Chain A
Amino acid sequence: MLTVEEIDAGYKDLQALWGISLAVNEGEIVALVGPNGAGKTTTLRVISGLLKPSAGCVLLRGRSLAKEPAHRIVELGISQVPEGGRIFTGLTVLENLELGAFGSNARKVKDQSLQWVFGIFSRLEERQRQRAGTLSGGERQMLAIGRALMSKPGLLLLDEPSFGLAPLLVEQIFQMITEINRQGVTILLVEQNVRAALELTQRAYVIENGRIVGQGSGEALLSFESVRSAYLGSS
């Protein structure tokens, strides 16, 4: 479904990604794990078009996204939940969700999408009239994910959905992610919480210093010695 081929990218004079390649198949959950500053977020930004690569290309179902501006890529079916959620705190929960369905196709089926999102995150339905700024940390993350789902994406990019949440909430969010995937949304997940991510996913890529240094099934990577020692804190 998504193919990333030999991407170089960076900010100004600072190159952050070096020949990144990865692939996500229809229906999968794939994780991209690695330490802080390895280039995980930058990779997502390239896929969603916020950052244009200096070399290489991103293909969605075989179609190049090189010339598509970021707002078009959403309409083509890739939706990103940015790091920290970045919900619109001054707008109501409902308005946030409506904006998720901004594209013309998504707007036509907005009411169905809303029912779908409320089905997954019932808390959001209760709070739909509140200003998003009044939500708790977990609810904000749910809103961010729900908002991204409103565009009816084929592929959902999740950037650190567990960031800053209590362990119990992390488990809840991950269950919801599994549920979303079961309902047919392909997922590319960026996580620092490596163990939880690898337990959740079928496949994972390990990124370090802007390069892919390993890949395999989640279970295989869990037993992968360097991953264990580097990220799981066990020797």
Chain B
Amino acid sequence: MLGPIAQNLVFGIMVGGLYGLAAVGLSLVFGVTKFLNVAHGELLMLGGYAGFWIFTLWGVDPFLSLPLVVVCLVLIGLVLYKLLFARMVKLTEENKIKNTLLVGFGLSLVFQNMALRLWSADDRGITTAYSGQALTLFGVRFPVVRLASLAIAVVTLLLLDLFLHRTYTGKAIRATVQDWEAATLMGIDIHRVYLLSFVVGAAVAGIAGALVSVGYSIEPAMGLEWTLIALIVMVLGGLGSIVGTFVGGLVLGVTQSLTSYWIGGTYREIVALLIFLVVLVFRPQGLFGSKEG
């Protein structure tokens, strides 16, 4: 009886790490710039396809190709920011959120449709030589690939946390989250901070997407679900704390996993959405939630 529960717990934690990673990118961008980029899930999708094609065409191991995926997403992030999002920096906060939401929305359509035309609607996944391997501990299976993905997610988040707390640029980003005008008075060029956050957010989404393509599967229409997951985790974890976001991801992953064990697979998404709606209604300021301070 306990065995399957423990197994589902482990699977939940593994997928939860990726949820955390997906949410951290969105949360960083939203916290700094107040851009609500609902095409975040599509960035994840692009990262997934980048990893998939690098593996399929050149046979590069998906974990080794991560830096290449990051480069791709950095470029995409740069172009999107310069072409579209930079135009919305000067709007009032409310209009900024609304317009970026709408633009993100259009972008998600464009990316989804392009991916569908270029790469077909098929589910894709990376199968390496070691994909089937798993460690077994007390009767609980730990698939190697997902274990490695979780480790990479944790390392990425730790590095990001170090960057935000230990470097001058990171501190400038945190200061901008709190009060962009006061940050300007420190001599911080907030446009550069915005650009940097946006690009880092895209890169982290790319890593998450590539990991999804290794441990799970990707398809052109996956974006909306992942955007919603990232939003849910962002609300659960509160803004401004990477550890909080990561824990929020784990909570969601475990909840989903246990739900599908007890109630049935199709309800995993519904449970997540219901949690989200409840949190949203009872904490309407949710997304701005626990700012630092």
User: Residues of A at under 8 Å CB distance from B?
Assistant: 48, 50, 69-72, 74-75, 79-80, 82, 86-91, 95, 98-100, 102-103, 106-107, 131-133, 147-148, 151
- Does B187 contact A103, Cβ atoms closer than 8 Å? yes
Cβ contacts under 8 Å, B186 to chain A: 71, 74, 99-100, 102, 147, 151
Say which one of B73-81, B131-139, B173-181 lies at the interface with A: B173-181
Q: Say yes or no: A91-B174 contact (C-beta < 8 A), given A50-B181, A82-B181, A107-B168.
A: yes
Within 8 A of A (CB), among B172-217: 172, 174-175, 178-179, 181-190
Complex: A203 Cα to B188 Cα, angstroms: 32
- Residues of chain B lying within 8 A (CB to CB) of residue A103: 187
Is there a chain A Cβ closer than 8 Å to B292's Cβ?
A: yes
Which residues of the other chain, A, contact B185 by a CB distance below 8 angstroms? 48, 50, 70, 74, 79-80, 82, 148
A102–B186 Cα distance when bound, in Å, is 6
Shortest Cβ distance from B182 into A: residue: A86
Contact A50 B184 (CB under 8 A): yes
In the bound assembly, the distance between CA atoms of A147 and B185 in angstroms comes to: 10
Interface of B is mostly: helix
Question: Complex Cα distance A70/B190, Å?
Answer: 10
Residue interface mask B233-255, A partner, CB < 8 A = 1: 00000001000000000000000
Chain B residue numbers with a CB within 8 Å of A100 are 186
Interchain CA distance A70-B183 in the complex, whole Å = 10
User: When the two chains form the complex, which single residue of B183, B187, B293 contacts A131, counting CB atoms closer than 8 Å?
Assistant: B293
- B187, A91: Cβ atoms closer than 8 Å: no
The CA-CA distance from A17 to B260 in the complex, in Å, is 64
- Asked whether B283 is an interface residue with its Cβ less than 8 Å from the other chain, the reply is no
- B291: CB under 8 A from chain A? yes
A99 in contact with B175 given A71-B189, A86-B182 (CB within 8 Å): yes
Q: How far is the CB of B231 from chain A (nearest CB, A)?
A: 23
- Neighbouring B residues of A131 by C-beta, 8 Å: 293
Whether the Cβ atoms of B184 and A102 lie closer than 8 Å is no
B171 at the interface (CB under 8 A from A): yes
Taken together as a complex, chains A and B put the C-alpha atoms of A151 and B168 apart, in Å, by 14
Q: Is the CB of B178 within 8 A of A90?
A: yes
- Across the interface, A98 reaches (CB within 8 A) one of B168, B179, B184, B293, namely B168
For chain B, the count of residues having a C-beta within 8 Å of the partner chain is 21
Bound complex: CA A95 to CA B291 (Å):
17
Interface residues of B in 266-293 (CB under 8 A from A): 291-293
- Chain B residues with Cβ below 8 Å from A107 are 168
Report the Cα distance A109→B178, complex, angstroms.
Answer: 26
CA distance A106 to B187 in the complex (A): 10
Contact A90 B174 (CB under 8 A): yes
Q: Give the distance in Å from the alpha carbon of A60 to the alpha carbon of B185 in the complex.
A: 17
A99-B172, A99-B175, A102-B172 known; A91-B184 Cβ under 8 A? no
Closest B residue to A98 by beta carbon equals B171
- Residue among B172, B179, B182, B187 making CB contact with A75, cutoff 8 Å: B187
Chain B residues whose CB sits within 8 angstroms of the CB of A98 once the complex forms: 168, 171
Are B188 and A86 interface neighbours, CB within 8 A? no
Set of chain A residues within 8 Å of B174, measured between Cβ atoms: 88, 90-91, 95
- Contact of B187 (CB < 8 Å), options: A82, A86, A90, A102: A102
List 13 A-B residue pairs with CB atoms under 8 Å apart, sorted by A's residue number: A50-B184, A71-B188, A71-B190, A75-B187, A80-B185, A82-B181, A95-B174, A98-B168, A98-B171, A99-B172, A99-B186, A100-B186, A103-B187
**Nearest CB of chain B from residue A94's CB, rounded to whole Å:** 10
Which residues of the other chain, A, contact B181 by a CB distance below 8 angstroms?
Answer: 50, 82, 86
A74 (CB) vs chain B CBs: closest residue: B187
Q: Chain B residues with Cβ under 8 A from A71's Cβ?
A: 184, 186-190
* Contacting residue for B293 out of A72, A79, A90, A106, CB 8 A: A90
**Other 17 A-B pairs with CB < 8 A, given A86-B181, A87-B182, A88-B174:** A50-B181, A50-B184, A69-B189, A70-B185, A71-B184, A71-B186, A71-B187, A71-B188, A88-B178, A90-B174, A90-B293, A91-B178, A98-B171, A99-B172, A102-B186, A102-B187, A103-B187
Which chain B residue shows the least CB distance to A84? Answer: B182
Give the docked Cα–Cα distance between A87 and B183 (Å): 9
User: Complex Cα distance A88/B182, Å?
Assistant: 8
Q: When A48-B185, A99-B186 are in contact, do A86 and B179 touch as well, CB less than 8 Å?
A: yes
A71 vs B188: C-alpha distance when bound (angstroms) = 6
Q: With contacts A70-B184, A99-B172, A107-B168 known, is A90 near B292, CB below 8 A? A: yes
Distance, CA A98 to CA B181, complexed state (A): 17
**How far apart are the CA atoms of A20 and B129 in the complex, in Å?**
75
CA distance A86 to B175 in the complex (A): 11
